[in-house]
């Protein structure tokens, strides 16, 4: 029997995860709707003054994105763990980190990308101007993959555990802080008419670092969890 090449393995892993997500559209929608609801709650709590809302908008949208992406982490490995696929993945003759990276990419496409696409709507709701909304989208494009990557480590560590969902938040949320700071910070700077290059560069740096380090840590975590 010939082994499939690494490229084939990656492609089929990505395709499989996307097909599975499309078969269960409700799961994908839940994350997105959670994001929309959380942001919509803030005006009700804070008050409808558009100036206040505009001021807190970047932080609110970013915190909501953080929570939404964290909520979706449970699905990253748990289904594969339950039906035994995860063990088969661990037995593949390819580097686990690369395979994991493909799973994370698939996860981001179904849980992170919709947040990016719908963020302008929320930005407008909260009174951000067009330029800030553009920056918001750029920060989310750079930042949400980092969230998925860091989150994958937590998801891999808690796979198959009782009460894993709450535990994941405890492990992962402190590590999300830098992304939150610079993601929301960039939008605030844009709204204040300041330069955003520094923020975006740092977000890009986080992404580069997370792509290199996180899959490796996730692979190690998976091997520990399925020991």
Partner 1 sequence: MALQNSIIWLYFSSPKNFYPLAGKLIPFFAILAAVLTVIGLYIGFFVAPTDYQQGESYRIIFIHVPAAWMSMFIYIVMAMYAFIGLVWNIKMSEMMASALAPTGAMFSFLALWTGALWGKPTWGAYWVWDARLTTTLIMLFLYIGFMSLESAIDDARRASKASALVAVVGVVNVPIIYFSVKWWNTLHQGASVSPTMAPKMASTMLNAMLIMVFAFWMYAIAVVLMRARNIILEREKQTTWVQELVTNKK
Q: How far is the CB of 178 from partner 1 (least distance, A)?
A: 4
Say how far apart CA 178 and CA 104 lie, in whole Å.
20
Say how far apart CA 24 and CA 28 lie, in whole Å.
7
Q: How far is the CB of 73 from partner 1 (least distance, A)?
A: 14
Nearer to partner 1, 32 or 146 (CB): 146
Nearer to partner 1, 9 or 157 (CB): 157
Selection from 136, 134, 127, 132 nearest residue 191 by Cα: 132
The reply to whether 99 sits near partner 1 by the rule CB under 8 A is: no
Q: What are phi and psi of 140, to 5 degrees?
A: -70, -35
Contacts of 3 (CB under 8 A, 6+ apart): 93
Nearer to partner 1, 118 or 216 (CB): 216
Q: What is the DSSP letter of 159?
A: T
Contacts of 215 (CB under 8 A, 6+ apart): 97, 98, 100, 101, 104, 149, 152
Q: How far is the CB of 152 from partner 1 (least distance, A)?
A: 11
Contact letters (x/-) for partner 1, 182-201, by CB under 8 A?
Answer: x--x---x------------
Residues touching partner 1: how many (CB under 8 A)?
A: 27
Q: How far is the CB of 206 from partner 1 (least distance, A)?
A: 8
The reply to whether 221 sits near partner 1 by the rule CB under 8 A is: yes
Count of beta carbons in the 10 Å neighbourhood of residue 64: 22
Contact letters (x/-) for partner 1, 144-183, by CB under 8 A?
Answer: ---------x---xx--xxxx--x--xx-xxx-xx--xx-
Contacts of 133 (CB under 8 A, 6+ apart): 119, 120, 123, 124
Could you list the residues that contact partner 1 (CB under 8 A)?
153, 157-158, 161-164, 167, 170-171, 173-175, 177-178, 181-182, 185, 189, 206, 213, 217, 220-221, 224-225, 227
């Amino acid at each position: 029997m010939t082994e499939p090449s690494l490229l084939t393995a990656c492609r089929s892993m990505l395709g499989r995860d996307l097909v599975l997500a499309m078969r269960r559209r409700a799961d994908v929608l839940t994350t997105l709707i959670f994001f929309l609801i959380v942001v919509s709650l803030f005006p009700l709590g804070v008050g409808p003054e558009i100036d206040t809302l505009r001021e807190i908008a970047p932080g609110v949208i970013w915190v909501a994105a953080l929570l939404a992406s964290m909520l979706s982490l449970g699905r990253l490995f748990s289904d594969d763990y339950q039906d035994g696929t995860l063990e088969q993945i661990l037995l593949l003759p390819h580097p686990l980190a690369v395979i994991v990276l493909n799973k994370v990419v698939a996860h981001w496409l179904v849980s992170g990308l919709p947040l990016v696409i719908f963020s302008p709507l929320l930005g407008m709701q909260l009174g951000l101007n067009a330029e800030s909304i553009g920056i918001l989208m750029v920060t989310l494009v750079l930042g949400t993959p980092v969230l998925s990557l860091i989150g994958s480590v937590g998801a891999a560590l808690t796979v198959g555990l009782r009460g894993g969902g709450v535990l994941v938040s405890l492990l992962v949320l402190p590590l999300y802080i830098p992304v939150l700071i610079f993601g929301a910070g960039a939008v605030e700077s844009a709204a204040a008419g300041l330069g955003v290059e520094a923020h975006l560069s740092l977000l890009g740096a986080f992404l580069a670092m997370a792509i290199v380090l996180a899959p490796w840590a996730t692979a190690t975590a998976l091997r520990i969890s399925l020991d």
